[in-house]
Each structure stands twice: as C-alpha cells, then as structure tokens.
Structure 1
Amino acid sequence: MTYCVAMRLNSGLVFLSDSRTNAGVDHIGTFRKMSVYENAGDRVMVLMTAGNLSISQSIRQLLSDRTNAEGHTIWTAKSMYEAAQILGDTIRAVHDRDAEELSKFGIDFNVSIIFGGQIKGERCRLFQMYSAGNFIESHDENTYFQIGEAKYGKPIIDRVVTPKTSLDEAAKCALISMDSTLKSNISVGLPLDLLLYANDQLAVTRFVTIDEQNQYFQMIRRSWGAQLKRVFEAIDDPIWNAAPETTLNVLSSVDELSEPVRVPPPVEVTRSILEPVPRQTLAEDGGKEQAT
C-alpha cells in the first residue's frame, strides 16, 4: 500500500510519497515510489506510483525509452501533455503484455500514477493516470491529486490548500496530511520523499528523504496532535433539549424535537414484558410433590 499526494500551485509543484509496499505482521516492505526525470535547463518531470509493485516497476523501466508516433520520448516531448500521452501508452503496453497472464493467478492489473512537472516554454502541469492509460489534469478547481490511502489525509488539504498557497505552506500541509495517514493506517510508512519545484527552475533544488529522525517532521507530529487536541477541547459540548435563543450550542431544540425511526418489537415480546409469567419456587415445587 502507499500514500502519495501532489499539488499544483501558482508558484509551482509539491510532491510527497511514502515508501511502504506491504505491512504484514512479520514482514514490512519498503520501496521508494517517487522517480524524477530531469534534464536540467530543459525539463523536470516527477512520477509517483501506487498499486501493484511489479506493474509500477515495469512502467517506470519502459518509460524512458518509449516513443510515440512522432518518434518523441518523454525526454523530447514538446509538452507535458505529450509526455503524459507517452506514459499512458507505456501503461497500455505493459497491460497488453502482462494483464492476461496476471489474471490467470487472480491478480488484477492495478496501478495508479501521479505525473507532473514542467517542460521549458510551458507552465507547470499535473496529471493523474489510471490503469487504462487514460488521465486527467489538475486545474484551479482541483489543485491536488492523491493515490493510495487517500482518505485520511484529504480533509486537511481540502481546508487549507488553494492555488495561492505558497510552496512551503503546501509542503507543511502535505506533511500533516501524511502524518494523519501514518497515524491511522499501518500500510503507509516512512521514509518519505518530498520534492518542491518552483516555476521555471527547470532543475531539482529542494528535495529531502524524511525518516524517523527528521527534526521538522517530528515537530509536525508532536505539535499537530497537541494543537488538534487543544482545539477540540476548546469547542463547547452540545446542549440538549433547549430553546435556540438561550445559547449558540443547542444541538437538540425544544421547538423541533426529533424522533428516531423505531422498529416495533414483536407482539410476544411486548406481551412478555407487560404480563410476566409467574415463576415457581423450589418450595412450591416441593409442596406439590408432597401433596401428590
């Protein structure tokens, strides 16, 4: 399993990935999910993968040499969109080669990819790729993509990140998102790879691998949990069955009382409660035996 997140902002791109591939009771696997394709001064492209590891490795291995109908590779593509098309063709080629054989063993062709970067002469772009080789692109209305165990880290991003968010703030948000996922899901784990790319740099200048000893991430883990608890405790408890004008914390209003959907008990259950059957005592039993 894995968790990867990428954000496209006005100022550039943020990429973050974990490195856990499986988490059994006695076996934990680690494999780095982020790959960087860099030709400094011309292009920087970042690929992050989730899903079947053998499929991901095959796609990554074949991508560098894959050519399209025009003879372009990702190293010579004129745009990020063309590079994404080449990646989609690579996914389909691996599917054509492996999917049928995998299905004989009950294994689905399962892979998800985030692919983004910048080619000289155009803006930063970000894509999410699917197992069929098709893809969608990030726009201002959808500034980020997630793959893998996305649900735990999604709420903080939805509340914080906009296209105007700075790269450092977005990186902080991504790390909090990752920490929330690590806290709730054992199938996601350290070390992490974090890459920040500023518009038009056309080179990787800010990258770090984060392990258990990383000072900043340890601070995030401590302070986020403490601050979250502090905010939670500062919120008032609900008030039940009160008039709305008496306080701002009325959960249940006397003006609009609610009732649950009740399922009536069977008649025999109701009768047994209303008319309990008399119980015989041992003394009564003994008396009858003696009388007989």
Structure 2
Amino acid sequence: MTYCAAIRLKDGMIFASDTRTNAGVDHISTFRKMYQYGVEGERFMVLQTAGSLATSQAVYNKLQNDVNTSAELSVNTVTTLFEGAKMIGEILRDVMEHAQMIANDSDSGTFSSSFLLGGQIKGQLPELYMIYPEGNCIRATRDTPFFQLGESKYGKPILDRSVDYTTEIKHAAEALMLSFDATMRSNLSVGMPIDFVVYKNDSFKIPEGRRINQDDEYFNAISRQWSEALRQTLIDLPECPAEYLG
C-alpha cells in the first residue's frame, strides 16, 4: 500500500508521497512514487503514483522516454494540465490492457494504478488532477482543495479539519506532515522516507524538494507536540457526565 497527497492552495501547492512498497511482511522495499517535470520559467508538474508498482513504473518510463526523446507530445509540450492528465490516462489504460493480455488475467485490479498530477503552465492557473485507473480524471476545486491516493483514511481527518483553499502554505505543510504521521502510526504498509515538495504559484521554478527520513528533527518535533497536544486536549475536554459512564 502507499499514501500520497497533494494540496492546491491560493498561494501554492504541496505534494507528499511515502516510498514504502510491500508484498507481505517479509518483502518491504523503498521506491520513489513522486516525479517532477518542467521547464524552468515556463512550466512545473508533479506526478504521484499509487497502486501496482509495475504499472506505475511503466507509465512513468513512457512519460520520461517521451521527454528524453523530445517527442511531439509529452508533459513538457502539452498546452494545459488537463491535456497532460488525459495523456497520462491514455497511457495508463494502454499499460493495463497490455499487462492483462500478457498475463491472460481479466481482473484489471491486479494491474491497477492511480495518479495525481499537479502543477502550473505559464499563463494559466495552477491545477491538480486525480487520474483514475479507467483513464478519466477529476480536478481539485476551491471546495475540494486536496486529493489523496492509497491509504488515505487515517490522514484525511486532519486535512479535513485544518486545511482549506485559503490556508497558508506553512500551516498546510504542517497539516500534511501530521497527516502522514497519523497514517504511519496506524498502518505499517506506509512508511518513510517521505518525498515532500512545495511549489509557490507563478514562480515557475522546479523546487528541489525534501526527503523526510526517520531522523528528521522537525518532523519528529511536530509529531511529539501533536501527540502531547491531543492528550492534553482530551484531559481539558468538558467532563463526561456520569450518565454516560453507566
């Protein structure tokens, strides 16, 4: 399993993906699930993946090969983010259909992957898309400013309660890190390192990003403070009436 999330804010975008993959408790590996594309000063995109690692890597390899060979249509030449999302959806469908044919397996779920594509092309607003295994996609809006892939249920409540379109980047970044902290505490199939990227709207710079490891001082500090704050808040809640306790 995996956990990926991306947030589209009025001032920027934040992307985070874990790197753990597992095929049972005795086969755990680390693989990158976030990829960056762009042309400095003209466009910036982030692609995040969840699902079948073989399918995800096949889609990524096709996208990267098109960039490397200066293909007529690639993530560096699409005119809109929506066009890029449609292109990735078509590649995804082709990869899944080919894998099913080779394996003679009618269960498409065996080869299923989903993607998040976010970024900005000069002259256009930043956008964020979720691309489904069927190849179709939906776009994040002001009312729904973030998307998640994979093991999302543990981290979603934190984002639901603390992040909206107007949230400052620094506070949304903190909430997203805590979302990953909550997920990793409750599900061993999600784990570090975490790839973390922040993009500021209209900068058209390809950010270096950060890989958050287990010994990351800031991540561990906010994790401890969040846990302590939750415990203290529980103590400070209005006292539970006796009739509730039997």
CA deviations over 1:149-194 (Å, ceiling 9, x no partner): 0000000100010111111111100000000001000000000010
| Deviation of the 1:50 alpha carbon | 0.5
Is contact 1:66-1:90 (8 Å) kept?
A: no
Q: Is residue 85 of structure 1 aligned with residue 86 of structure 2?
A: yes
In structure 1, C-alpha distance between the alignment counterparts of 2:77 and 2:192, rounded to whole Å = 34
| CA RMSD, 1 decimal | 1.9
Is contact 1:45-1:116 (8 Å) kept?
A: yes
Name the residue aligned to 1:220.
Answer: 222
| Deviation of the 1:231 alpha carbon | 0.6
Is contact 1:113-1:130 (8 Å) kept?
A: yes
Normalising by the residue count of structure 2, what TM-score does the alignment of the two structures yield? 0.92
The answer for unaligned runs of 5 or more in structure 2 is: none
Name the residue aligned to 1:37.
Answer: 37
* Number of matched pairs: 240
Is contact 1:23-1:186 (8 Å) kept?
A: no
In structure 1, C-alpha distance between the alignment counterparts of 2:65 and 2:213, rounded to whole Å = 33
Is contact 2:114-2:132 (8 Å) kept?
A: yes
CA deviations over 1:186-240 (Å, ceiling 9, x no partner): 0000000100000011112351101011111110221111111111111134214
The answer for unaligned runs of 5 or more in structure 1 is: 242-250, 253-292
Name the residue aligned to 2:16.
Answer: 16
Instruction: Give the direction of change, closer, same or farther, for the CA distance of 1:8–1:232 in structure 2 (3 Å limit).
Output: same
In structure 1, C-alpha distance between the alignment counterparts of 2:86 and 2:105, rounded to whole Å = 29
Normalising by the residue count of structure 1, what TM-score does the alignment of the two structures yield? 0.78
In structure 2, C-alpha distance between the alignment counterparts of 1:39 and 1:170, rounded to whole Å = 26
| Deviation of the 1:46 alpha carbon | 0.3
Q: In the TM superposition, what are the counterparts of 1:1-292 in structure 2 within 5 Å?
A: 1-22=1-22, 24-65=24-65, 71-102=72-103, 104=105, 108-205=110-207, 207-241=209-243, 251=244
In structure 2, C-alpha distance between the alignment counterparts of 1:28 and 1:220, rounded to whole Å = 27
Instruction: Give the direction of change, closer, same or farther, for the CA distance of 1:169–1:206 in structure 2 (3 Å limit).
Output: farther
Name the residue aligned to 1:268.
Answer: none
Instruction: Give the direction of change, closer, same or farther, for the CA distance of 1:105–1:80 in structure 2 (3 Å limit).
Output: closer
Over 2 Å off, 4+ runs: 23-27, 64-67, 99-107
| Bigger relative contact order (CA 8 A; separation at least 6) | 2
| Deviation of the 1:103 alpha carbon | 5.1
Is contact 1:16-1:192 (8 Å) kept?
A: yes
Q: SS in structure 2 opposite 1:151?
A: coil
Is contact 1:102-1:109 (8 Å) kept?
A: no
Is contact 1:152-1:181 (8 Å) kept?
A: yes
| Deviation of the 1:89 alpha carbon | 1.3
Is contact 2:88-2:135 (8 Å) kept?
A: yes
In structure 2, C-alpha distance between the alignment counterparts of 1:197 and 1:184, rounded to whole Å = 29
Aligned AA for 1:17? S
Q: Which stretch of the first structure deviates more once superposed, 204-213 or 173-182?
A: 204-213
Q: Which stretch of the first structure deviates more once superposed, 87-96 or 127-136?
A: 87-96
Is contact 2:100-2:106 (8 Å) kept?
A: no
CA deviations over 1:229-279 (Å, ceiling 9, x no partner): 1111111342144xxxxxxxxx59xxxxxxxxxxxxxxxxxxxxxxxxxxx
Instruction: Work out which of the two has the higher radius of gyration on C-alpha atoms and give 1 or 2.
Output: 1
Is contact 2:96-2:112 (8 Å) kept?
A: no
